[in-house]
Amino acid sequence: MFRRPSLPTHFPELLTKTFEAAVKSGDLIYTESTQESATDNGVDVRYTFAPALAKKPTKDDNNGDEKTEKPKFNPFEKPDPKLMLVPDFGDYSLVLNKFAIVPNHFMCISKKVIPQTAPLTPNDLEYSYAALQAAQSDGAKYIGFFNCGPNSGASVDHKHIQFIELPKDFTPFPESVIKAKGRDYKPGQQPLSSEKVPFAHFIVPWEAEWAEEDAKADNDTEVAIEDPVAEELGFKFSTVLSRVLTELRVNDAPSISYNVVFTDKWVMAVPRSKESYKDISVNATGTVGLLLAKSQEQLDIFKEETPLKVLTELGFVKPEEEEHPEYDY
Ligand code: AMP
């Protein structure tokens, strides 16, 4: 019998307890940082300044050594038991990120070794959606993210979707797009975008929110709306992925690289042209304005050159609405 993925209701407590124990035992390296809020063209930005992070392993550290034939290290093949949250979650395990800048940063990793370059499947999305929902509580909203391809900011080539709590008083720009235009979106339609954002990005609502509102409006009683199922999530994801692939193709991109960010309300995908700009490496979190600076110099570059300009350098200029509407990547 088909069973929807579910996690215990005490998952947020399990997350916090395991995180705190792993920090205490030294199995998890938690880097303190300072935060600074800003806006760029009306888009919320949050700088995280963490100079100690320069020590964290990078993609190149995990890439092995061709001269000594040292094999690539895959930290997710046998995850550290001290970082384990849920070993058996369908085809996945839920594991804490060993190098955290925000508390409770966790990941959904495939049990089998699957390359990170493989696109998200309906099953990946359904389990990730369930993990995101389980981590959330009234005061804590989470984003899920997926870095895919050599220019996406990914460092481990084993399929993993990550989750962090959104900072308080921070609204990722897709949230405003969904508030303004999400209700009129029909499945299969062109993805939505923000007029304030100059880089190519494609947003689609998952729609759970309107379904709930509509059901309540239809009959006065409380109605429980089920989370979207794998097929729905997969269809929405394929809508944004198609546009990403088209952008990569028309721009002769050097590789298939993109970032995906999602909440329980929407999914956004951003095609990537470069992994870093002036030595600043950016992953999916950066595409919603959560910018990480590992030195004062990096922080100054973001501020002087402006976040949206840096992000446009790392991606592509947003196409005009009718420019590449075809889905034939
Ligand atoms: P990405 O860089 O997007 O591919 O994400 C991989 C994440 O895995 C990084 O944020 C690392 O901090 C994290 N990581 C690296 N090694 C380990 C490990 N041994 N256990 C858990 N997480 C790790």
Q: In the block, which residue shows the tokens 């009959």?
A: 219
Q: Looking at residue 245, what is its pLDDT?
A: 97
CA atoms within 13 A on the CB side of 179: 6
Residue 304 has pLDDT above 90, yes or no: yes
Q: Identify the residues whose C-beta falls under 6 Å from ligand 1.
A: 57, 75, 80, 83, 95, 97-99, 147, 153-156, 160, 283
Domains annotated on the chain, with CATH: 11-314 (3.30.428.70)
- Residue 174 burial by CB count (10 A; 0-12/13-18/19+): exposed, middle or buried? buried
> Which residues are CB-neighbours of 216 under 8 A, at least 6 positions away?
222, 223
**Cβ–Cβ under 8 Å, residues 298 and 280:** yes
For ligand 1, the distance from its centroid to the CA atom of residue 67, given in whole angstroms, is 24
pLDDT in tens, 134-164: 999 988 999 999 999 999 999 999 999 999 9
**Cβ–Cβ under 8 Å, residues 178 and 204:** no
pLDDT in tens, 306-326: 999 999 999 999 998 766 655
For ligand 1, the distance from its centroid to the CA atom of residue 5, given in whole angstroms, is 24
- Listed residue (63, 25, 29) closest to 150, CA to CA: 63
Mean pLDDT on 93-100: 98
Residue nearest to atom 20 of ligand 1 (CA): 98
**Cβ–Cβ under 8 Å, residues 253 and 271:** yes
Residue 219 has pLDDT above 70, yes or no: no
Q: What is the DSSP letter of 118?
A: S
**Cβ–Cβ under 8 Å, residues 206 and 239:** no
pLDDT in tens, 239-250: 999 999 999 999
For ligand 1, the distance from its centroid to the CA atom of residue 325, given in whole angstroms, is 36
- Mean pLDDT value across the chain: 90
Query: Mutate which of 97, 116, 282 to test ligand 1's pocket (most atoms within 8 Å of Cβ)?
Result: 97
> Which residues are CB-neighbours of 213 under 8 A, at least 6 positions away?
none
Mean pLDDT on 85-101: 97
| DSSP of 209-253 | HHHHHHHHHHSSS--PPPPPPHHHHHHHHHHHHHHHHHHHHHTT-
Query: Mutate which of 53, 82, 99, 276 to test ligand 1's pocket (most atoms within 8 Å of Cβ)?
Result: 99
- Quick one: what percent of the chain has pLDDT higher than 70? 86
Residue 259 has pLDDT above 90, yes or no: yes
- Listed residue (7, 19, 269, 209) closest to 128, CA to CA: 7
Select, from the ranges 57-61, 64-68, 251-255, the one with the highest average predicted confidence (pLDDT). 251-255
Catalytic residues: 160
Q: Looking at residue 138, what is its pLDDT?
A: 85
Mean pLDDT on 270-281: 97
Q: CA 45 to CA 283: how far, in whole Å? A: 15
Q: Looking at residue 228, what is its pLDDT?
A: 75
- pTM attached to this predicted model: 0.92
